[in-house]
Amino acid sequence: MRASLVEDAACAGTGTVFCRNCRFCTMVCPAGVRIPEVMTMINLSVAAGSADVRAGDLLRHTYAARTAGGPASACVGCHACDGRCPQGIPIIRQMARATLLFER
């Protein structure tokens, strides 16, 4: 499951998510998920060498601070963000990935 979460086309095989922080997604999210901040933390995790494994404590603390009030696990899977991302990022899948990386 974890591998498939990393292998989205939007990641281009690197695990990196090409979020441009446009925040189109956050405008429609009823759960207040801090989606761009979550994406940034995914990329930091990739840079640190953990694209698909539980992130280390420092990254987890940083994630908690940056996503306070709207962590990835707050995603309720409502699909309101589907098709909103100009980068084509499958947001729900990346929220599931971030939950595994930072919240489990």
Q: Which of 89, 96, 98, 101 binds ligand SF4 (CB under 6 A)?
A: 89
Residue 42 CB-density burial (10 A; 0-12 exposed, 13-18 middle, 19+ buried): buried
Which span (22-30, 40-48, 55-63, 96-104) binds ligand SF4, by CB under 6 A?
22-30
Binders of ligand SF4 in range 26-45 (CB under 6 A): 28-29, 31, 33, 35-36, 39
Question: DSSP label at 54?
Answer: P
Residue whose entry in the numeric block shows the structure tokens 């698909």: 52
Calculate the alpha carbon distances from 22 to 16, 27, 50, 53, 57 in Å: 17, 10, 25, 27, 28
Which span (40-48, 59-67, 80-88, 96-104) binds ligand SF4, by CB under 6 A?
80-88
- Minimum CB separation of residue 54 from ligand SF4 in Å reads 21
